[in-house]
């Protein structure tokens, strides 16, 4: 199979996966809305619902990121850039594309990006500044300061 045929075959796989992710994400969002609408039950039920909502939200975020990468790969196919490393402009080996169809870097450039602490692609970089505690800084919190209501 030629590289062009393999890419065309990969396109079909990406389109099917994209459609499945879109459908799953639409279902996840409607499920979350239904769960929030049902606010009956006790505190334990509400806590379990909250945990389930968080898990569903995190799964939806992972699926959403994958969907974004797939759409970007399909865009690169239309532009004739699919399978070309964004770092060094060499061809990404088919073995890598078969394993990770939306790869935009060859293994060498991907390792360099990871070594430098960047996830590549820009939009997936983590903004660690949001995690800074801008409080007074002179108060320490210990486990003894936390009250738990277990009634």
Could you tell me which CATH class the domain 1-80 is placed in? mainly alpha
Structural contact between residues 114 and 100, judged by C-beta atoms closer than 8 angstroms: no
The residue ranking higher by pLDDT, 125 or 112, is 112
Highest mean pLDDT among 10-24, 43-57, 116-130: 10-24
Question: Can you tell me the distance from the alpha carbon of 34 to that of 42, in angstroms, rounded to the nearest whole number?
Answer: 18
Q: Taking residues 16-43, what's their average pLDDT?
A: 68
Question: Can you tell me the distance from the alpha carbon of 65 to that of 59, in angstroms, rounded to the nearest whole number?
Answer: 10
pTM reported for the whole predicted model? 0.57
pLDDT at 48 over 90: no
For the chain, which residues make up each domain, given as ranges? Answer: 1-80, 83-121
């Amino acid at each position: 199979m030629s590289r062009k045929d393999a890419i065309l075959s990969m396109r079909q796989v990406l389109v099917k996966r994209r459609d499945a992710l879109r459908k799953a994400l639409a279902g996840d969002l409607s499920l979350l809305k239904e769960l929030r609408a049902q606010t009956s039950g006790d505190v334990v039920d509400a806590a379990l619902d909250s945990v389930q909502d968080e898990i569903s939200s995190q799964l939806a975020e992972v699926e959403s990121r994958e969907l974004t990468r797939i759409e970007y790969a399909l865009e690169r196919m239309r532009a004739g850039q699919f399978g070309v490393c964004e770092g060094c402009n060499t061809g990404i080996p088919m073995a890598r594309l078969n394993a990770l169809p939306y790869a935009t870097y060859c293994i060498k450039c991907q390792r360099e990006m990871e070594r430098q602490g960047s996830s590549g692609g820009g939009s997936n970089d983590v903004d660690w500044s949001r995690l800074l505690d801008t409080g007074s800084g002179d108060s320490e919190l210990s486990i003894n300061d936390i009250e738990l209501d277990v009634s």
